[in-house]
Structure 1
Amino acid sequence: MPEPIRLYVRYVDALNYRVGRIAMYLFFVMGGILLASTFSRIVTGVPINWALEMSQFLISAYYLLGGAYTLQLDQHVRMDLFYGRLDARRRAITDAFTILFVIFYLVVLFGGGLSSTHYAIVYNQKNYTAWSPVLWPIKTIMTAGVFLMLLQCISAFFKDVAIWRGKPIT
């Protein structure tokens, strides 16, 4: 593969590795918020009205920012009827073909995310709850997660094509 493609794969993989490792800790932050909320409700009798919604935001950021990392580690769930019986080259051909559909889906999803984030910023969109948080921060994070997943899918496509050609990118 040409050197620019190798550099792209190397940098995207490094970026998504770091983002994924950081995103893993959001789960503990969410657990701390839920624990504090439970403690406050049981001990003091005063519920924390923002805890559930913040937990929902954090779990959304967790799985969207961690999606590219999961793809990088090849840990996504697969329907495996015939795939496991294929040799590495045929698996790469199958993956290179099918990931084009995922890339198309992510491009459409990213476009919708940009539009939704732009709307949230321009109109200062808020959630209709007692806490009423602005939505642009979580929408920005979600759109960034989709973008990172798109970059990782392109990286995976390049890796699969390289394996298909018999010259894997290391």
Structure 2
Amino acid sequence: MSSLLRISRLIDWINERVGRSVMWLVLIAVVISAGNALVRKLFNTSSNALLEIQWYLFAAIFMLAAGYTFLRNEHVRIDVLTSRLSARGQNIIDVIGILFFLLPMAVLILWLSWPIVTTSLATGEMSQNPGGLIRWPVKMLLPLGLGLLVLQAVSELIKRIAFLSGHGPNPLQKKSAAAATEELVVAIKAQREGTGQ
């Protein structure tokens, strides 16, 4: 179990880094969107490339942060029934959900999307809009995002089995808002110390 938990920590580290990097795409998307709106209002002109890059950034945020969202246990849940269960019961439900729903769905979509991605890459597919962008980078987000989600599902499965077998803490235990704020303050301080500010 200890070697599996090491693998789980590595997967968590990867998705943590990807998720924190993807957060910057939100700011970039907002700046591009605001700039495009201003140019359209002030100069009565626009760019298809700028419109499409907004869509691409949204796709990147959504797909690449899926594993990070699962890591943080912030995905959409229906807790009406499971909230009444014990921690053990909730983890058993999650194991069943990961094994029989999440992993099969993600792997199936990954498998079905791969030919679309490779065809787009091989043909150098371009947008049909004048001045639009190439399409294969945005299509590549689908297998990348699903790959990160599958990895995180494996990590979460390991953590839940570790909890059920008495080898780890409850992965479903939510951090309090104060703990999350303290974690953010520590991260900001560490970043400032690293940059010498």
Q: Secondary structure at the match of 1:81?
A: helix
Task: Give me the whole-angstrom Cα distance separating, in 2, the residues matched to 1:43 and 1:19.
Answer: 36
* 1:123-161 deviation per Cα after TM superposition (whole angstroms, max 9, x unaligned): 111222122321111112232111000100111111111
Shift of 1:112: 2.2
Q: Secondary structure at the match of 2:90?
A: helix
Shift of 1:88: 1.3
Q: Which residue matches 2:35? A: 36
Contact in 2 for aligned 1:103/1:150 (Cα 8 Å): yes
* 1:103-130 deviation per Cα after TM superposition (whole angstroms, max 9, x unaligned): 0111011112322111111111122212
Q: Secondary structure at the match of 2:140?
A: helix
What runs of 5+ residues in structure 1 fail to find an aligned partner?
A: none
Task: Give me the whole-angstrom Cα distance separating, in 2, the residues matched to 1:46 and 1:82.
Answer: 52
Q: Identity over aligned residues, as a percent?
A: 27
Q: Which amino acid aligns with 2:143?
A: T
Listed as ranges, the matches of 1:47-86 within 5 Å are 47-86=46-85
Listed as ranges, the matches of 1:2-151 within 5 Å are 2-3=2-3, 5-100=4-99, 101-151=101-151
Contact in 2 for aligned 1:90/1:164 (Cα 8 Å): no
Task: Give me the whole-angstrom Cα distance separating, in 2, the residues matched to 1:157 and 1:131.
Answer: 45
Contact in 2 for aligned 1:40/1:48 (Cα 8 Å): no
Task: Give me the whole-angstrom Cα distance separating, in 2, the residues matched to 1:85 and 1:47.
Answer: 53
Shift of 1:81: 2.0
Task: Give me the whole-angstrom Cα distance separating, in 1, the residues matched to 2:137 and 2:103.
Answer: 25
What runs of 5+ residues in structure 2 fail to find an aligned partner?
A: 172-197
Q: Secondary structure at the match of 1:104?
A: helix
Contact in 1 for aligned 2:64/2:145 (Cα 8 Å): yes
Q: Which moved more, 1:160-169 or 1:97-106?
A: 160-169
- The Cα RMSD (Å) is 1.5
Q: Secondary structure at the match of 1:75?
A: coil
Task: Give me the whole-angstrom Cα distance separating, in 1, the residues matched to 2:95 and 2:127.
Answer: 40
Task: Give me the whole-angstrom Cα distance separating, in 2, the residues matched to 1:31 and 1:22.
Answer: 16
* Structure 1 moving runs of 4+ over 4 Å: none
